[in-house]
Structure 1
Amino acid sequence: MNVRFTLDGMARVSQEHLDARRRQILDGAARCFARNGFHATSMQDVLKEVDLSAGAVYRYFSGKDELIAAIAAEVLGEVRAAFGEVTRQSPPPPLDELVGSVLGRMLGIWSSLTVDGQPGFPRLIMQVWAEVARNEELAAITRNGYEALQAGWVQVVREYQESGVMRPDIPAEHVTRTVIATVQGFIAQQSLFGPAPVEVLQDGLRALMSMSDTRTAS
C-alpha cells in the first residue's frame, strides 16, 4: 500500500492508492452486473468479487445504486471522449469510419470485461438501459449523456450536409437519432446473439450510404 506520514506520525493513503482501489471496485461491480444483472447482484456479491471488506467498499460507494450510477456515468463519459476525439478532425471522417472508430474504441476500453469468455460490455449496457426505467438518478445521467452526444452528432451531420456529402433537406436531428439508434441496435444484437466485429456495422452503413434514389418525380 502506498502511504505517506503526516507530521504527527499518522499514515495517509496516497491518492494513487485511493484511485486504484476505486477502480478495483468499479471493475468488479461491472463484472457482477454484466454476469447476473443489477437486480440479481447483491453488495455481498460485489464484496466477494473484489475480495474486500464491506468497510473498504462503502468508503467509496454507499450502495449498489451508487455503483450503478458511477459505472453508467463512466461509460457515457468515455463515449463522449471517444466521439470528441474523432470529430475534432475537420472535415469529420465518413460516417462509417466515424461510427466504427468510436464503437471500436469503446469495445477496446472494456475488452477486459468478459462473461463466460464473451464480451461483457454489451450485456452491461443492456442492463443500464433496462435500469433507466426505474432509477431516476440513472435516467438523469443517461439523458444528460445522450443529449451531449446528440448535440455532437448534430454538428457532424450539418458539416456533412454543408460539404455536400449528405442531402441537406433532412433535419440533422433526424439523422442523428437514426445513427445513434443504429449503434444501440448493434450493441443490443451483440448482447442477445453474440459478438460481431465492428466491421460488420461499418459494411452495412457503407452499403446504405451507397444507395441512390432512383425514383423519378411524377
Structure 2
Amino acid sequence: MARVSQEHLDARRRQILDGAARCFARDGFHATSMQDVFKEVGLSAGAVYRYFGGKEDLIAAIAGEAVGGVRQAFERAARVSPPPTPDVLIGRVVRTLFGDDATRRGGLDPRAYAGLIVQVWAETLRSERLAATLGEAYEGLRVSWAELVGEYRASGMLAAGVPDEHIARTLIATAQGLIAQLAMFGDAGPEVLENGLRGLMSMDLQRAS
C-alpha cells in the first residue's frame, strides 16, 4: 500500500482548517457543530478526526495561526534598518494580513477574517487553553515590539522618558482596534490607520503648550 506523502497530509489539514474557518466566520464558534465542518470540507468524520480531536482543537489551531500571522507580518515589516515609522510599519502589517491574498485567509474576505480574529479574542475569556496559547503568543509579540521601540530610541527617532513596553502596548492596541473596527463596521482599511497615526505624529506639542 502506497504511503501518503507529507505534502498530501499538509494539504488535507489545510483543507480542514480553511473549511472550519469559513464555518466559524459564518456562524460563530458555538453555533458551528463538527457535522457542519464535515459538510463544509466534504470529508468523513474519521478523516477530520485524524487531524483534530474536536472543535476545541480546530479553534486552537485557527487561533494560533491568526496570532502567528500577526507576529510574522510584523517581523517581516520591521526587518529594515532604520526601522519604518509606526504609521508605515503598522500599515504594512495590516496590508499583509488583509491584502489581496485571500488564499492565506482560507478564502475569507478581510471583514470576515477580522471577525474570526475577534471571535478568537472573545473565546479566550472562557477557554483556559486558548487563553494560554494567545497569552504566550502575545508575550512574544510584545517583546518584539518593545525591541523595535528600543531601536527607535537608539536611532534618535524617539525621545527618552516613556518606557518601551508602554509604547509597544499602545502600538499593538492600535492594530487590535483597527481589526475590531474592520470586523464590526467593515469600513476601516490600512490607509485609515496610516493617515491617523501620521496626523498624530505631526502634532506640534510645543505650540500647543
Instruction: State the AA in 1 paired with 2:196.
Output: G
Deviations 1:105-164 (A, max 9, x none): 0113428213xxx63111101110110011111101101111111011101111112222
Larger radius of gyration: 1
Decide which structure has greater strand share: 1
Q: Which residue of 2 aligns with 1:40?
A: 31
Matched, 1:171 2:166: no
Tell me, in whole angstroms, the C-alpha distance in 2 between the residues paired with 1:76 and 1:66.
15
Matched, 1:64 2:55: yes
RMSD: 1.4
Q: Where does 1:149-188 land on structure 2 (aligned, <5 Å)?
A: 149-188=141-180
Aligned residues: 204
The structure whose RCO (Cα within 8 Å, separation 6+) is larger is 2
- Range moving further from structure 2, 49-58 or 76-85: 76-85
Where does structure 1 differ by over 6 angstroms across 4 or more consecutive aligned residues?
none
Deviations 1:33-77 (A, max 9, x none): 111111111101111111110000000000000000001111222
2:107 to 104, 112, 116: 112
- The percentage of aligned residue pairs carrying the same residue is 59
Instruction: State the AA in 1 paired with 2:89.
Output: L
Q: Point out where structure 2 has 5 or more consecutive residues left out of the alignment.
A: none
Q: Which residue of 2 aligns with 1:78?
A: 69
Task: Give the TM-score normalised by the residue count of structure 2.
Answer: 0.93
Tell me, in whole angstroms, the C-alpha distance in 2 between the residues paired with 1:88 and 1:99.
13
Instruction: State the AA in 1 paired with 2:74.
Output: F
Could you tell me whether the CA contact under 8 Å between 2:19 and 2:106 is conserved in 1? Answer: no
Could you tell me whether the CA contact under 8 Å between 2:18 and 2:105 is conserved in 1? Answer: no
Q: Point out where structure 1 has 5 or more consecutive residues left out of the alignment.
A: 1-9
